[in-house]
Amino acid sequence: MREQLYYHLANDAGVTAIVGTRIYPQRVPTGQPLPYLEFSFIDRELSYDQDGYDNYSKVRVDVECNAATLGESVILAKAVFGSLNIQNVLFGEVGNQEELCSTTLEDELDNFALFDGSEDGVRVISQTYIISYLEA
């Protein structure tokens, strides 16, 4: 699902109009200009029936929308929400797709982060999504 999420966000015109190619799973390389997205997987829940694993999974994903101002991070967060507010579609690059059942925005937090003792900070809107899907 990591590759599928990256592919989806990197190919969404609304998201890439704001961040270009600055979409990072797990860790942002040092010195990246703002704005950018960072995402990480929090946990995964597998579904079982009487025959065992039934290929249905839920993952919780944290997507951090990083920008220089609150207004810019809000615009980016809205673009991400618009991109992920989907259901019942094939998700990811052709040949490496999962059947996405639904996405739910579970939580959204507004933060301000200082780096390297600088007075300049980064506005971060952190969104937590639950993505339900059928594994291929």
pLDDT at residue 67 in the model: 94
Tokens found for residue 92: 């990811």
Q: Does the structure show a pLDDT above 80 at 117?
A: no
Contact 127, 108 (CB under 8 A): yes
For range 25-50, the mean pLDDT = 88
Give me the architecture of the 2-29+40-134 domain, per CATH.
2-Layer Sandwich (3.30)
* Separation CA 112–CA 64 (nearest Å): 12
Q: Does the structure show a pLDDT above 70 at 73?
A: yes
In one-letter notation, the amino acid at residue 53 is: Y
Q: What percent of the chain has pLDDT over 90?
A: 54
* Separation CA 36–CA 24 (nearest Å): 8
Task: Give the pTM.
Answer: 0.87
pLDDT at residue 86 in the model: 86
Phi, psi for 95 (deg, rounded to 5): 95, -10
Provide the residue ranges of all domains of the chain, joining segments of one domain with +: 2-29+40-134
pLDDT at residue 89 in the model: 85
5-27 pLDDT per residue, tens: 999 999 999 999 999 999 999 88
* Separation CA 34–CA 43 (nearest Å): 27
